[in-house]
């Protein structure tokens, strides 16, 4: 195994988009940032030099970080932010994972422009569990704001309202020909006829789930979240923020040009937002003047189509690094979540919503607050036994039962107001080392329904079942897939529905759990697991690195 060592210079640069210059924060001067290539078993060392005006961190999304929690990156969870002008070295091993992951800033909206692909190839001498491919191509979908994204978030925090929506979607940094002044900023994938390409699709968007299609072509899904899957044929990929999908693309059509399109999947009706983007697949020898062929796009609210893709793919149990489902459960959790309200802090014109409130979000009626200003990250507090940073009473169940998915909950009335207000807290759930946890994630309809992608740091988890309505153990447990479920790090919990996941808490440390829709994170849509140390040094959190930033 090798050592992959790189320097990430984070600094502000000016780029031209949508007919105007915009200052953005970027890594090594490019958008998206550099692709990190490694082989399974390699050690990755990234020297982060923060020349940006912001205090920030980087998270290596989906990397298990076994015994390297100090390198996970979420600010105030595993480290304090790297100050503007400071630096920090992330060091971790890439073991037991092959495929596509990605890295991104884990500080406010900075991840809109501070992100890039992570590509983990098999060890030398090992091959993919699919036929040889001609070329591998990362496809990064992200969102673009014609504004400073840190200010976009700050404005939202000040008013208590939802933040300004993005102005466009991009493919590998290109907005494409549907946007003003972007004709010559269209991503082109040049291909040869009769070959197989491996597209490594990453949804780095802050808030948009996407349908992804290429006219006249279909895909074979071979991996999700850097875990191999059984081959799954489809002409559309559905991908939520945080997730990755690896597909084989056969260039088996007539020589020509074909649009590749990413168009939002909006699970709720209230939030329509047209930020469709397209790039072009150009065959070698295609005429320069031909208008590319457009695929037929799904309706943006096509939940049955999204659900089919999200649930029909199964894990490849013969794949290297496959983990069988742990059969004995030590702890059951039932976690409800959704959007809610909190008291307005600064009442005044334009600063409050109805009922003197502002938007908030919660899990099991606890709205998570980062321990900012308390002198230590959660992981430091765990390691050094510092009190006053967090409490250990995150509940296993919601405090009250209600009809979680009743559509009537989406309107603000006396009943919803009574359940929408959740207290602010910094509560973690303590897990015994090596115990097996099963969680039912129950989406709620409070103030509106939406599909929420839930990401767990530090683990991959099996997805045993998913469905709509209120979870019902008697009805739904018999449907659990123990044989070949998906194993992933981010689960898109169906709109007005539920997902059941299971994992083994074999990685000591503190691990963040949150909705990967960036709008919902500052509202408190999060919790954390504190996994106790095991009995040996090889199962305990090691000391922090010397240059760990101070709070």
143-151, 216-224, 265-273, 508-516 -> range binding ligand C2O (CB under 6 A): 508-516
Q: Are 246 and 223 in contact (CB under 8 A)?
A: yes
- Please give the backbone phi and psi of residue 546, each rounded to the nearest 5 degrees, phi first: -60, -35
Burial of 413 (0-12, 13-18, 19+ CB in 10 A): exposed
Q: Which of residues 136-165 bind ligand C2O (CB under 6 A)?
A: none
In the block, tokens 């059969």 appear at 327
Range 139-148 burial, b when 16+ CB lie within 10 A, else e: bbbbbbbebb
**How far is C-alpha 413 from the geometric centre of its chain's CA atoms?**
33
Helix (H, G, I), strand (E, B) or coil at 257: strand
Q: How far is the CB of 296 from ligand C2O (least distance, A)?
A: 31
By CB under 6 A, how many residues form the interface with ligand C2O?
Answer: 11
Q: Which residue, judged by CB position, is nearest to ligand C2O in the bound state?
A: 61
SS (H, E, C) 309-367: HHHHCCECCCCCCCCCCCCCCCEEEEEEEEEEEEECCCCCCCCCEHHHEEEEEEECCEE
End-to-end alpha-carbon separation of the chain, Å? 35
Q: How far is the CB of 439 from ligand C2O (least distance, A)?
A: 17
12-20, 139-147, 462-470, 510-518 -> range binding ligand C2O (CB under 6 A): 510-518
Closer to ligand C2O at the Cβ: 61 or 93?
A: 61
Q: How far is the CB of 242 from ligand C2O (least distance, A)?
A: 5
- Please give the backbone phi and psi of residue 436, each rounded to the nearest 5 degrees, phi first: -105, 130
For residue 61, state whether it binds ligand C2O (rule: CB under 6 A). Answer: yes
125-133, 293-301, 357-365, 512-520 -> range binding ligand C2O (CB under 6 A): 512-520
Q: How far is the CB of 74 from ligand C2O (least distance, A)?
A: 5
Neighbours of 463 (CB within 10 A): 24
Closer to ligand C2O at the Cβ: 461 or 471?
A: 461
Closer to ligand C2O at the Cβ: 109 or 179?
A: 109
249-17-58 Cα angle (round to 5): 70
Query: How far is the C-alpha of 181 from the C-alpha of 185, rounded, in Å?
Result: 8
For residue 514, state whether it binds ligand C2O (rule: CB under 6 A). Answer: yes
Please name which of 152, 36, 177, 39 lies closest in space to residue 103, comparing C-alpha atoms.
36
Query: How far is the C-alpha of 80 from the C-alpha of 380, rounded, in Å?
Result: 9
Rule CB under 6 A: choose which of 32, 40, 52, 59 binds ligand C2O.
59
Rule CB under 6 A: choose which of 104, 200, 278, 429 binds ligand C2O.
104
For residue 520, state whether it binds ligand C2O (rule: CB under 6 A). Answer: no
148-156, 253-261, 285-293, 511-519 -> range binding ligand C2O (CB under 6 A): 511-519
Q: How far is the CB of 65 from ligand C2O (least distance, A)?
A: 12
For residue 458, state whether it binds ligand C2O (rule: CB under 6 A). Answer: no
148-152-157 Cα angle (round to 5): 145
Query: How far is the C-alpha of 31 from the C-alpha of 34, rounded, in Å?
Result: 8
For residue 74, state whether it binds ligand C2O (rule: CB under 6 A). Answer: yes
Rule CB under 6 A: choose which of 212, 259, 512, 523 binds ligand C2O.
512
64-69-74 Cα angle (round to 5): 90
Rule CB under 6 A: choose which of 358, 457, 462, 502 binds ligand C2O.
457
Closer to ligand C2O at the Cβ: 92 or 219?
A: 92
Closer to ligand C2O at the Cβ: 502 or 520?
A: 520
DSSP state string for 396-413: SS-SS---TT-GGGGS-S
Q: How far is the CB of 126 from ligand C2O (least distance, A)?
A: 27
For residue 494, state whether it binds ligand C2O (rule: CB under 6 A). Answer: no
Instruction: Give the total residue count for the chain.
Output: 551
Q: How far is the CB of 68 from ligand C2O (least distance, A)?
A: 16
Closer to ligand C2O at the Cβ: 104 or 462?
A: 104
For residue 455, state whether it binds ligand C2O (rule: CB under 6 A). Answer: yes
Site for ligand C2O, rule CB under 6 A: 59, 61, 74, 104, 106, 242, 455, 457, 512, 514, 516
């Amino acid at each position: 195994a090798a050592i992959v060592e790189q320097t990430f210079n984070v600094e502000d640069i000016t780029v031209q988009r949508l007919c105007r210059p915009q200052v953005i924060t970027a890594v090594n001067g490019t958008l998206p940032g550099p692709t990190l290539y490694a082989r399974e078993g390699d050690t990755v060392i990234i020297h982060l030099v923060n020349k940006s005006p912001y205090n920030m961190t980087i998270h290596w999304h989906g990397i298990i970080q076994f015994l390297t929690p100090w390198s996970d990156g979420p600010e105030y969870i595993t480290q304090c932010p790297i100050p503007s002008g400071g630096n920090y070295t992330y060091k971790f091993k890439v073991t037991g994972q092959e495929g596509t992951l990605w890295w991104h800033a884990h500080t406010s909206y900075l991840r809109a422009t501070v992100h890039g692909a992570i590509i983990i190839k098999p060890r030398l001498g090992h091959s993919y569990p699919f036929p040889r491919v001609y070329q591998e191509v990362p496809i990064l979908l992200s969102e673009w704001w014609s504004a400073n994204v840190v200010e976009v978030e700050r404005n939202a925090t000040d008013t208590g309202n939802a933040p300004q929506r993005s102005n466009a979607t991009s493919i590998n940094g290109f907005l494409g020909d549907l946007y003003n002044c972007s004709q010559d900023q269209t991503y082109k994938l040049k291909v040869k006829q009769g070959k197989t390409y491996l597209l490594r699709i990453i949804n780095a968007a802050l808030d948009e789930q996407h349908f992804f299609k290429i006219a006249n072509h279909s895909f074979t899904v071979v991996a999700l979240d850097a875990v191999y899957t059984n081959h799954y044929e489809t002409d559309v990929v559905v991908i939520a923020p945080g997730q990755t999908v690896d597909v084989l693309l056969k260039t088996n059509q007539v020589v020509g040009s074909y649009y590749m399109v990413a168009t939002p999947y909006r699970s709720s009706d209230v939030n329509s937002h047209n930020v469709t983007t397209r790039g072009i697949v150009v065959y070698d020898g295609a005429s320069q003047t031909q208008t590319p062929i457009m695929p037929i796009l799904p309706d943006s609210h096509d939940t049955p189509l999204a659900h089919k893709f999200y649930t029909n793919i199964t894990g490849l149990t013969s794949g290297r690094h496959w983990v069988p489902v742990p059969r004995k459960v030590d702890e059951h959790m039932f976690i409800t979540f959704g959007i809610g309200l909190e008291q307005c802090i600064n009442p005044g014109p334009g600063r409050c919503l109805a009922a003197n409130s502002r938007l908030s979000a919660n899990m099991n009626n606890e709205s998570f607050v980062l321990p900012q200003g308390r002198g230590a990250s959660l992981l430091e507090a765990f390691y050094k036994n510092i009190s006053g940073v967090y409490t250990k009473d995150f509940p296993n169940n919601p405090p009250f039962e209600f009809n979680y998915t009743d559509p009537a909950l989406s309107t603000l009335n006396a009943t919803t107001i009574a359940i929408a207000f959740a207290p602010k807290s910094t509560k973690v759930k303590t897990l015994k080392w090596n115990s097996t946890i099963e969680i039912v994630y129950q989406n709620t309809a409070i103030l509106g329904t939406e599909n929420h992608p839930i990401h767990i740091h530090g683990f991959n988890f099996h997805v045993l079942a998913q469905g709509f309505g209120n979870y019902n153990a008697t009805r739904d447990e018999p449907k659990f897939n123990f044989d070949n479920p998906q194993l992933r790090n981010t689960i898109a919990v169906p709109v007005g529905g539920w997902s059941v996941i299971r994992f083994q808490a074999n990685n000591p440390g503190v691990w963040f759990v949150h909705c990967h829709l960036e709008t919902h994170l500052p509202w408190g849509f999060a919790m954390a697991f504190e996994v106790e140390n095991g009995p040996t040094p090889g199962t305990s959190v090691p000391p922090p690195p010397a240059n760990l930033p101070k709070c």
